Structure 1
Amino acid sequence: MSHASADAPFQPLDIAVLTVSDTRSLDNDQSGDTLQQRLIGAGHQLSERVLVKDNVYAIRAVVSRWIASAQVPVILVTGGTGFSSRDSTPEALMPLFDKTVEGYGELFRHLSLASIGTSTIQSRAVAGLANRTLICAMPGAPRACALAWDEIIGPQLDIRHRPCNFVDQLITVPDAACSTRTLSGVA
């Protein structure tokens, strides 16, 4: 958990956006547009934006490339989280996770209850950490993307968010000598 002080300076992150869809293109991808607008509006940078068909291996190929890059600490995935025969985003992502962020899906469904009622049980929103990269998958509706960003992801990507956030988990900081300990007077 990050316990930086609330007055720590904001740290912009490079965030990649992946849209999973068999029907959209980048020209009419409102969900990807929603995420891009929100992350830039929050002060982060869009590192890359890609759209792939709903195919486990196509999804894994893009996400694996980003996970392997030290330049992409956050990946947002929209689409493919339902129960149709073509929805395969959770199946593509979960084997890549080093750790699963169970609370993300639970909280997303809880927050969705107010607007879509019991249909929220059909959302398979998932998140996890892989190689110091946070990966959050959400439904492909723009309203669902807005909810996920505004209520969960955005705050967790702000180092000033209290009591904790994910920023320190994602940024590799060089080891610094402890100022209270010295070895033979040398820090």
Structure 2
Amino acid sequence: MSKSREFLPVRIAVLTVSDTRSLAEDRSGDVLAARITDAGHEIADRLILQDERAQIADQLRKWCADPQIDVVISTGGTGLTGRDVTVEAHRDVYEKEIDAFGTVFTIVSMQKIGTSAVQSRATGGVANGTYLFALPGSPGACKDAWDEILLKQLDYRHMPCNFVEILPRLDEHHRRK
């Protein structure tokens, strides 16, 4: 962490993808919301949607079009079953995929759950100047992704580089030259 840089909070929307959970039972969303606010960031919005690809992609696009949202983190629907469509919905929206996010998440997960980490399809990307991350639906996976990756990358003070410092340039290709 650079002591010469000031902390810059970001506005984060949290999406839980589940056919069965309500907000009262959303442990993974609760884990993310608590960690986001504890880190000094703002919860810009929070929703639960069913495992429906078009519905998830539509919500991601709405949040990406909202200038009050910098980051979207979803939890759930990243597995291998037929109803797990969150990754596909994210990729429907991405302009660029952050390939190394899934790789780093797998490395972190391997330390906790061993080879079972291969069952996760966690992903990250960028669309319309907004970061998007799809995490597995378990509270442990959300803790690992936040504590080991996102906490650092969403902190402007993290060196040698972080997601926050390039946030203003994510949509530069949309602007006139």
TM-score, with normalisation over the residues of structure 1? 0.87
Aligned residue in 2 for 1:161: 158
1:15 and 2:18 equivalent? no
Amino acid in structure 2 at the alignment position of 1:62:
Q
d(CA) in 2 for partners of 1:77, 1:7:
32
Uncovered stretches (5+) of structure 2, i.e. residues with no partner? 170-177
> Per the alignment, in what secondary structure is the counterpart of residue 159 of structure 2?
coil
Amino acid in structure 1 at the alignment position of 2:63:
W
CA offsets 1:52-98 (integer angstroms, 9 cap, x no match): 00010110111110001111010000000000110000110112111
- Any conservation in 2 of the 1:19–1:51 contact (CA below 8 Å)? yes
> Per the alignment, in what secondary structure is the counterpart of residue 84 of structure 2?
coil
- Any conservation in 2 of the 1:6–1:161 contact (CA below 8 Å)? no
1:38 and 2:35 equivalent? yes
- Number of matched residues? 169
1:62 and 2:56 equivalent? no
1:100-179 to structure 2, matched below 5 A, reads: 100-171=97-168
- The structure whose Rg is larger is 1
* Structure 1 runs (4+) greater than 6 angstroms displaced: none
d(CA) in 2 for partners of 1:98, 1:63:
12
1:77-88 to structure 2, matched below 5 A, reads: 77-88=74-85
What is the RMSD of the two structures over their aligned residues, measured on CA atoms? Answer: 1.3
Amino acid in structure 2 at the alignment position of 1:158:
D
Amino acid in structure 2 at the alignment position of 1:69:
D
Amino acid in structure 1 at the alignment position of 2:84:
D
Uncovered stretches (5+) of structure 1, i.e. residues with no partner? 173-187
1:68-79 to structure 2, matched below 5 A, reads: 68-79=65-76
Aligned residue in 1 for 2:23: 26
Q: Displacement of 1:171 after TM fit?
A: 3.6
d(CA) in 1 for partners of 2:95, 2:7:
27
- Any conservation in 2 of the 1:31–1:145 contact (CA below 8 Å)? yes
TM-score, with normalisation over the residues of structure 2? 0.92
> Per the alignment, in what secondary structure is the counterpart of residue 150 of structure 1?
helix
CA offsets 1:9-54 (integer angstroms, 9 cap, x no match): 1001110000000111100000000000000000000010000000
- Any conservation in 1 of the 2:57–2:92 contact (CA below 8 Å)? no
